[in-house]
């Protein structure tokens, strides 16, 4: 494949935008080479600035669960845009999306819309602190909850990809209120809770992690977390920015059968436009301004274009819940295909998967937490990534990211992907 125009555009972008990108993982630094500049996309395919067609396994990092340029979403946005793009006043469509989201998800009464997953998680933590009157939070090494200061402590995703899981600029004062536990290790949580008795407002977790590859919690771990939170008066925050409306209508709460106290959303809920949200029982949500004392606001929150995209997306998922099964079957097919090829090649690997989230790790040890994920062989990963890219398969450009399948992927696309892998030297 030729990527001349992409490389030229990247060189130009670097003159004006730090690193040439507006979000670090896009820059390909972890895998080397220049990033691909995309021109347009439809269904399962990206078309880049050099005219290459790529099969997409990122789906804009999760939102585009039904494929690119999904017509009901596009039409809803076009219709809305003709009537004005932002008002800074309440609109009916905000209530419509709120009603629909609440009807799909267990255990939430009210929801507030924001503009990103970062904002959702940041606001959820402030709400938990305001509600409980406590300051500290527990997060898990390798989990990513956006780039707000209190989460950039051993964060996953791009933060760890670039070797800055603890970013300069986060003050000691902020960092001291974020305690760090180990995913799938309940003892690490119990120890922190005992040492900080009555000081912890919330435990925030990706209920199925996607930012250190895809990592599934054991039943004992996730149920144990719920029990600790209930016993100690700590709020359990499920960060469902990746999993919400992707794994099932009710997200991880539904598939794991665990009730969280606050849930955060992003990605799918905005159908590809900038939307985040956080939700809980009314008793907690009523602590938010203007009814309650915890302040939270946004000039563009509940933006009509974003709400119309979200409403079209959730309506499609709500009307056709078979899509979750279809996605899971496609992911299972891909999983099996990749596993067979890698076994034949004789390389060490692990494949982790839950529903339509999947990740490939080049290690012989089970990947159950951040440190086991970090043991993956990055040289093999780079060969894998670039080999696949040269065959027209676009995978996440970091070993710490999970793939997000979209339902526009056909079995022929999956076969093309598996066959591409056969031809690669690792
Ligand atoms: N939480 C999780 C689990 C995420 O995966 C992400 C982003 O990938 C975020 C929060 C932050 O969302 P955003 O990038 O929309 O700010």
What pLDDT is recorded for position 374?
Answer: 94
SS3 292: coil
Say if ligand 1 is within 6 A of residue 142 CB.
Answer: no
Say if ligand 1 is within 6 A of residue 241 CB.
Answer: yes
Say if ligand 1 is within 6 A of residue 146 CB.
Answer: yes
Cβ within 8 Å of residue 267, ≥6 positions away: 60, 61, 62, 63, 117, 241, 242, 244, 246
Tell me how far apart the alpha carbons of residues 56 and 392 are, in angstroms, rounded to a whole number.
9
Specify the ligand 1 atom closest to the Cα of 143. 3
CA of 426 to the centre of ligand 1 (A): 31
Residue 386 has a CB neighbour count (10 Å cut-off) of 17
Residues carrying CATH 3.90.1150.10, the chain: 4-69+321-422
Residues carrying CATH 3.40.640.10, the chain: 71-319
Class of domain 71-319: alpha beta
Average pLDDT across each block of 10 residues of the chain; the chain has 426 residues. List them in order. Answer: 95 98 93 97 98 98 98 98 98 98 98 98 98 97 95 74 71 90 98 97 98 97 98 98 98 98 98 98 98 98 98 98 98 98 98 97 97 95 97 95 97 98 96
139 is a catalytic site residue: no
Which fold would CATH assign to domain 4-69+321-422?
A: 3.90.1150
239 is a catalytic site residue: yes
Model confidence over 304-358: pLDDT tens digits?
A: 999 999 999 999 999 999 999 999 999 999 999 999 999 999 999 999 999 999 9
110 is a catalytic site residue: no
> Of residues 239, 261, 407, 413, which has the active-site annotation?
239
Residue 33's region, left for phi above 0, alpha for psi from -120 to 50, else beta, is left
Atom 10 (ligand 1) nearest CA: 145
CA of 224 to the centre of ligand 1 (A): 25
């Amino acid at each position: 494949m030729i990527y001349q125009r992409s490389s030229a555009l990247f060189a130009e972008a670097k003159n004006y935008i730090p690193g040439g990108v507006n979000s670090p993982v896009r820059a390909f630094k972890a895998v080397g080479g220049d990033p691909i500049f995309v021109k347009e996309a439809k269904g399962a395919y990206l078309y880049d600035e050099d005219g290459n067609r790529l099969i997409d396994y990122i789906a804009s990092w999760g939102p585009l669960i039904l494929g690119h340029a999904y017509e009901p979403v596009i039409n809803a946005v076009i219709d809305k845009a003709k009537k004005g793009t932002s008002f800074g006043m309440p609109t009916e469509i905000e209530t419509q999306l709120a009603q629909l989201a609440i009807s799909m998800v267990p255990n939430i009464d009210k929801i507030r819309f924001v503009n990103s997953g970062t904002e959702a998680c940041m606001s959820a933590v402030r709400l938990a602190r305001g509600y409980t009157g406590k300051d500290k939070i527990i997060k898990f090494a390798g989990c990513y909850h956006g780039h707000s200061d209190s989460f950039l402590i051993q964060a996953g995703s791009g933060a760890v990809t670039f070797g800055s899981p603890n970013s300069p600029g986060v003050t000691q004062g902020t960092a001291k209120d974020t305690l760090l536990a180990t995913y799938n290790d309940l003892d690490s949580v119990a120890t922190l809770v005992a040492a900080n008795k009555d000081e912890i407002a919330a435990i925030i977790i990706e209920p199925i992690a996607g930012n250190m590859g895809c990592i599934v919690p054991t039943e004992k771990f996730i149920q144990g977390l719920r029990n600790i939170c209930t016993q100690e008066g700590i709020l359990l925050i499920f960060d469902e920015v990746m999993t919400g409306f992707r794994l099932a209508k009710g997200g991880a709460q539904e598939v794991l059968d665990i009730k969280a106290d606050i849930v955060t959303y992003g990605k799918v809920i905005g159908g590809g436009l900038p939307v985040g949200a956080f939700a809980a029982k009314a008793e907690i949500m009523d602590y938010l301004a203007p009814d309650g004392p915890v302040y939270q606001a946004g000039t563009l929150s509940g933006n009509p274009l974003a709400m119309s995209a979200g409403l079209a997306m959730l309506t499609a998922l709500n009307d056709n819940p078979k899509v979750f099964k279809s996605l899971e079957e496609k992911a299972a097919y891909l999983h099996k295909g990749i596993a067979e090829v890698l076994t034949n090649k004789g390389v060490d690997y692990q494949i982790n998967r839950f529903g339509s989230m999947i990740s490939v790790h080049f290690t012989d040890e089970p990947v159950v937490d951040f440190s086991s994920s970090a043991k993956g062989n990055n040289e093999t990963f780079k060969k894998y990534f670039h080999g696949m890219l040269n065959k027209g398969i676009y995978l996440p450009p970091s070993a710490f990211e999970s793939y997000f399948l979209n339902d526009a992927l056909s079995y022929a696309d999956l076969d093309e992907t598996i066959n591409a892998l056969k031809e690669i030297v690792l």
